[in-house]
Chains A and B, each alone.
Chain A
Amino acid sequence: MTPIQPEISDKRAETITKTEELAYELRIHEVMTKDVHSLSPDIKMEEALEIFQKERFSGAPVEQDGELIGILSIEDLIHALRENHIDALVREYMTTQMTTVRKHDPVVEALKTFARTNYGRLPVLDENGKLAGIITKGDITNGLLKALQRNYQEEELIRYRASHLFEDIVSGRTSLILRYDIRKGDFIHGGNASSNIKRALLRLGASPQVARRCGIAVYEAEMNLIIHTNHGGTLRIEIEPHKITMEAYDDGPGIEDVEEAMRPGFSTATNEVREMGFGAGMGLVNIKRCVDEMRLISSKDRGTNLYMIMYLNDTDENPQTVN
């Protein structure tokens, strides 16, 4: 018979490795319980039982003159009860054959000890052999979960660094260019490119106001390419640290009278387009209001080029759009 290999996907393997890595990285003192309630060896078992019930302990270390001399568990209490010897002293029933771990050891040592001994808790000793805390499997689980959470936050931080792209890359002039081909009449996907552009700007650290204004301008431009061109056109967005240049260009049919096209309410759109909620002659007007600079160049033969520029500087925030 061939041994069956457990199927482990890449994803699962990744998480296993991460947890295992953490078990080696994390030290016992980072996950153990430090505030330990120790018992004196000279109290009665009955008293220990009361403490256990009240504090919901399932075990506690026993210390004398600052030295760890034993550990008392529920099992020891049951043992005493069975023998009807509940008023015996703790020192008579406590476990003195202890397995301990050291506080600076990696968590994996405690895990190994748990696997080997089947104990529920292990006393943790410091460099001088004194009791530093107690570690349970629950402590390890919590510690690992917290560490995983910390790792996750670090990943978030890396994502956040996308917004520092321009600071990290040094050149004479750094820019990021996004291009989208827009098809004539593709109403179904109309706005997809603009959505992606807006998202990209936010990821790169643009303020919500700037991203929204660029989004609106480029969305109107995208709809214009879908509605008015012969074959569609292209959106080209160039992002630089100090400005965003958005360009929409096509190969025709071109605008006959650019000045008239800029007039609010002027429209050549069909009823079908109007039914889509566009074509009311407000697109270009709206674009002009959203961006800092707009240029519209068009000729009957060459098609239309629309430039929209947004300047980015920290003092030019737009408080009106903040609510």
Chain B
Amino acid sequence: MKLKKLIELIEGNLLTDHSTDNIEIKGAMGADLMSDVLTSIKPESVLLTGLCNPQVVRTAQIADIRAIVFVRGKNPAQEAINLANEENIPLITTTLGLFDTCGILFQEGLPSFETQTEDDCAP
């Protein structure tokens, strides 16, 4: 799914300086615990989260996450936005809740990119 379409679907608002036309999102995961994200998310996905600090952007950069959606109308601090621009990770906010956001994207065919087993990171 193109990021541009994703933003339209969740009535999101792009916070970073990105052109969203050509960013392809392959799946999604929703979580507030960064350790869970680091454990379970697959690369090239969007992270849906209610957590809103620079650590989220760092986590995204380390775990090859394509974009971050902040749910429940959360707005990250400017330093997180600056970091995201530096690391080339689009940030989006939506007033929708986590469950709604997940539901809409899942219904539109975006698959879960959260691994249930340990094979994501296992040697």
Say which one of B12-20, B57-65, B95-103 lies at the interface with A. B57-65
Cβ distance B49 to chain A, nearest Cβ, rounded Å: 8
Q: Is A190 an interface residue (CB 8 A)?
A: yes
Q: Is B110 an interface residue (CB 8 A)?
A: no
Instruction: Check A195–B33 contact: CB distance below 8 A.
Output: no
Cβ distance A17 to chain B, nearest Cβ, rounded Å: 32
Instruction: Out of B38, B54, B56, name the residue touching A188 (CB < 8 Å).
Output: B54
Instruction: Check B55–A323 contact: CB distance below 8 A.
Output: no
Residues of A within 8 A of B59 (CB): 191, 219, 277
How many residues from A make CB contacts under 8 Å with B? Answer: 32
Instruction: Check B62–A282 contact: CB distance below 8 A.
Output: no
Instruction: Check B58–A282 contact: CB distance below 8 A.
Output: no
**Once the chains are docked, how many angstroms separate the CA of A280 from the CA of B38?**
12
Q: Is B121 an interface residue (CB 8 A)?
A: yes
Instruction: Check B63–A216 contact: CB distance below 8 A.
Output: yes
Q: Is A27 an interface residue (CB 8 A)?
A: no
Question: Which residue on chain B has the smallest CB distance to residue A293?
Answer: B123
Residues of B within 8 A of A323 (CB): 26, 42-44
Cβ distance A139 to chain B, nearest Cβ, rounded Å: 34
Instruction: Check B120–A280 contact: CB distance below 8 A.
Output: no
Instruction: Check B55–A276 contact: CB distance below 8 A.
Output: yes
Instruction: Check A191–B62 contact: CB distance below 8 A.
Output: yes
**Once the chains are docked, how many angstroms separate the CA of A126 from the CA of B64?**
56
Instruction: Check B61–A195 contact: CB distance below 8 A.
Output: yes
Question: Which residue on chain B has the smallest CB distance to residue A190?
Answer: B55
Instruction: Check B62–A277 contact: CB distance below 8 A.
Output: no
Q: Is B21 an interface residue (CB 8 A)?
A: no
25 contacts between A and B (CB under 8 A): A188-B54, A191-B59, A191-B62, A192-B58, A212-B62, A213-B121, A216-B62, A216-B63, A219-B58, A220-B35, A220-B38, A276-B55, A277-B51, A277-B59, A278-B55, A280-B33, A289-B121, A289-B122, A292-B123, A316-B123, A318-B123, A320-B119, A321-B42, A321-B43, A323-B43
Interface, chain A (partner B; CB < 8 A)? 187-188, 190-192, 194-195, 198, 208, 212-213, 215-216, 219-220, 276-278, 280, 282-283, 285-286, 289-292, 316, 318, 320-321, 323
Interface, chain B (partner A; CB < 8 A)? 26, 32-39, 42-44, 51, 53-56, 58-59, 61-64, 79, 87, 118-123
* Closest 8 A/B residue pairs (Cβ): A191-B58, A277-B34, A282-B35, A215-B62, A320-B119, A277-B51, A290-B121, A289-B121
